Structure 1
């Protein structure tokens, strides 16, 4: 932690005058953002140093909006916060930097971006929901929401939707669709299991699914809103799509008879699971594979510049991992049962993937 732990003075930050963005139209709109009320608690010497440095930096960006525009300022804030987090360390950033960053007026400005505000407000009650991913995809289901955002919000969105964190989500969609198509090429009428499927948007770009070359696609999630969207694909894309409400606990308990599969994947789940649960879940999913079947699991990689922005202004904290930690997901699987294993990353080195083939 920077500085000593002795309290010196109280935070005198005034209430922010930035207007709160109105609720955007549409059923998927998040609740309005409630701007944080600056804390009146006594700050330690270290927190005073952090606050002064952070506010000086953010004040500069707020004053720079006029001449350079919100798109450029959003980019610079994201990168500057990443550098600030690295400089003071993760512990100090999470304990002091994040709450202090939310007291600055620029917080309210950035919440006009649909991606940032949806993530921060968590309209479904948990982080990283399928609605947020749709915004990152630039999906037509949320195009009206983006279009109805303020001019400032759309300018900020022009940067955030093209940042690496969003690009990696779009790349992930393509990787998963490719895995479905590959499973069908290896075994006509292949069966697929998707864990934490969200809105299953990869179904829209899978050629094999549309051409009827997938025999069964069991899409599981614990969010009934997501499963309602997925159910529509059984009519519009393929009758092979079968939504089912299942949680991580359900998979680990193994009480539900699901059958066996040629492809099993979980791409947006492990970022929230600890190492023990991750290894246990991987073992359970691997056991559901047919001989020659493949399991794919993924996790965001550490060291990303976007992390600080996500934590402070998107209210989105993930468990970031290294290649070694991702490969460690297979720790409970016997090498005798593994025909091959492959680790790879997306084109922006944001997400790491582990692919395991069953002998």
Structure 2
């Protein structure tokens, strides 16, 4: 087993000559890199059983809690990981300004590093990709119907030209989190936006009558949701969501890819665990969809190869 305390002691000792907020910025970057190396050396079993508790018990792990992004993820104020408030911090959204204002100068310096990592940049890019998908649907089918699954605060709607220009006929925003849906309903500028509380279980268990009530859509998308679903549930949900498409409609889903430098930091210090997947595993989301119904399947990765996207077109 790797010696976690010794390695993190070395990280802290290397910063002894630095002072002020810059020290925490450097600490954040070096901690991310040190934990990446520790995880690679430890292996999955030792990492989970021994290394993660040791990281959290070490002074460096505690010091990183001054970062508002790290602290929010670890605290899970809504009771589950990766909630919409955390995404607002990653987006650098104005609604997160209060949390940043309350942070210390050291915390803000650490946040500049953590929020600037490739995975966080990928989340911001994902927001633009989702807005682009809405705009594409609106351009191809004026009055398009859109379904957002696990919508969070629906921040992509704020930058969608299709919604702003009134070319989206209906956007149904669904989530299991009442607080997120209340925020969407309160802030929705477009009259096309409506909310409904629906969980993954609701979609999977829905009968034909319930599906008819929800309606059919030209675009269905779910971005961060799949990072938390096991393979079996992911495939079942994909089949159900695909079944809500109109002919020629598209389903867009995303999932973080394996091999991220920051994965160990997210796991050990932020207590934020995702299910990372390969391209083949993401493509397998479509395993339960009949080839007769599938007009096309397109996979691509984002600009930093952090998130893989699967787009399925209904025949």
TM-score (norm 1): 0.84
Instruction: Please give the secondary structure, in 2, of the residue aligned with 1:69.
Output: helix
The corresponding residue for 2:200 is 248
Deviation readout 1:176-216 (Å, 9 max, x if unpaired): 00000000011000000010000000000000001110000
Looking at structure 2, the residues matched to 51 and 184 of structure 1 have their Cα atoms a distance apart, in angstroms, of 52
1:8 corresponding residue in structure 2: none
Q: Relative to structure 1, is the Cα distance of residues 64 and 227 closer, same or farther in structure 2, using a 3 angstrom cutoff?
A: farther
Please give the residue correspondences for 1:184-203 in structure 2 after superposition, counting only pairs within 5 Å: 184-203=138-157
Q: What does 1:28-67 correspond to in 2, within 5 Å? A: 49-61=2-14, 63=16, 65-66=18-19
SS at match of 2:19: helix
Counterparts of residues 66-85 of structure 1 (less than 5 Å):
66=19, 69-85=23-39
Structure 1 or 2, whichever has the larger Rg, is: 1
* 1:57 to partner: Cα distance: 3.5
Q: 1:36 maps to what in 2?
A: none
Aligned to 2:163: 209
Shift of 1:56: 3.6
Cα RMSD (Å): 1.4
Unpaired segments ≥5 residues, structure 2:
none
Query: Structure 1: which 5+ runs fail to align?
Result: 3-48
Deviation sequence 1:274-295 (CA, Å, 0-9, x none)? 0000000000000000001000
Does the 8 Å contact 1:115/1:157 carry over to 2?
yes
Q: Does 2:106 align with 1:152?
A: yes
Distance 2:37 2:226 in 1: 26
CA drift at 1:148: 2.1
CA offset digits 1:67-114 (Å, max 9, x no partner): 862212211111121121112112211111111001111122211111
Distance 2:273 2:155 in 1: 23
Q: Trace 1:27-176 onto structure 2 (pairs within 5 A).
A: 49-61=2-14, 63=16, 65-66=18-19, 69-176=23-130
Work out whether 1:317 is the aligned partner of 2:273.
Answer: yes
SS in structure 2 at match of 1:269: helix
C-alpha distance in structure 1 between counterparts of 2:106 and 2:9, whole Å:
22
Q: Which moved more, 1:105-114 or 1:168-177?
A: 105-114
Give the equivalent residue in structure 1 for 2:229.
273
CA distance in 2 between partners of 1:103 and 1:265 (Å): 39
Tell me the matched-pair count.
Answer: 310
How many angstroms apart in 2 are the aligned matches of 1:264 and 1:350?
Answer: 22
Q: Which structure has greater helix proportion?
A: 2
Mapped contact 2:5–2:58 kept (Cα < 8 A): no
Q: Could you tell me how far 1:123 is from its partner in structure 2? A: 0.2
- Aligned residue for 2:81, secondary structure, equals coil
Contact kept, 8 Å, 1:116 with 1:313, in 2: the verdict is yes
Please, which moves more after superposition, 276-285 or 51-60?
A: 51-60
1:301 is the counterpart of 2:257: yes
Question: Where has structure 1 moved over 4 Å in runs of 4 or more?
Answer: none
- With over 3 angstroms needed to count, the CA separation of the structure-2 counterparts of 1:56 and 1:214, relative to structure 1, is same
* Aligned equivalents of 1:224, 1:162: Cα separation in 2: 29
- The C-alpha deviation readout for 1:288-333, integer Å capped at 9, x for no partner, is 0000100001111111110110011101001110000000000000
The SS at the match of 1:134 is helix
Q: CA separation in 2, counterparts of 1:336 and 1:61?
A: 60
